[in-house]
Structure 1
Amino acid sequence: MVEDTVLEHLRALHGAQTLAIQSCTVSPPIQHPWGRAYRLVEWSFRHGVESFRRVVPAESTPLQIAEAVMSHVPGRRFCQPGG
């Protein structure tokens, strides 16, 4: 599965930082009538109540998805209250 390969790349790229990642899911390619196809990547950390989402191009390799997961995205952070 794509998720397993992404997690392997995360461990290889970032070592101990990825031990905190609890789950990572990658959607199948989604195509709208406009624009490029994309995949939705969602991951969560072991000690956090929130999950994070990122959109990547559908043709992204598992390595590119892992790099996107670990990269910083400037801007606002929106969180839903956990409970």
Structure 2
Amino acid sequence: MVEDTVFEHLRAMPGNEWVSQIHSCKVSDPLQHPWGRSYRLVEWTMKHTPESSRRVVPAESTPLEIAQAVVSHVPGRRFCQDGNE
């Protein structure tokens, strides 16, 4: 599966200690808009954080390119699903 290969690449990247804190990583099948190019949605969670992070990558991205996108991610807005709202 793509997720397993992405995890292997993440673990092999030197100098990224926080990568060991990734709890889960999901990569969607390629999605196609009626316009523009197709993409994949990458979503990952950290071990001690309830929020998930998401990033869109081109559908033709390799597992290594997806792992590099996860590592280079800059957090933006956070959305929590805690059920209190």
* TM-score (normalizing by structure 1): 0.88
Cα offset for 1:10?
0.2
**Percent identity of paired positions between Structure 1 and Structure 2:** 65
In structure 1, the partner of 2:8 is 8
- CA shift, 1:73, in A, is 2.9
Q: Are positions 1:29 and 2:35 aligned together? A: no
1:29–1:37 CA contact under 8 A, matched in 2: yes
1:81: Cα distance to partner?
5.3
Tell me, yes or no, if the aligned pair for 1:50 and 1:82 is still in contact at 8 Å.
no
Q: Runs (4+) of structure 1 moved beyond 3 Å?
A: none
Q: Which runs of 5+ in 1 are unaligned?
A: none
Q: Helix, strand or coil for the counterpart of 1:65?
A: helix
| Superimposed CA distance per residue, residues 47-76 of structure 1 (whole angstroms, 9 cap, x where no aligned partner) | 0010010000000000000000011337x4
Once residues 73 and 43 of structure 2 are traced to their aligned partners in structure 1, the CA distance between those partners, rounded to angstroms, is 15
User: Residue 36 of structure 1 aligns to a residue in which SS?
Assistant: coil
Letter in 2 for 1:7: F
Number of equivalent positions: 82
Q: Could you tell me which amino acid in structure 1 is paired with residue 80 of structure 2?
A: Q
Q: Which residue of 1 aligns with 2:77?
A: 77
What RMSD in Å do the two structures reach over aligned CA positions? 1.7
TM-score (norm 2): 0.86
Unaligned runs of 5+ in 2: none
User: 1:19: Cα distance to partner?
Assistant: 1.4
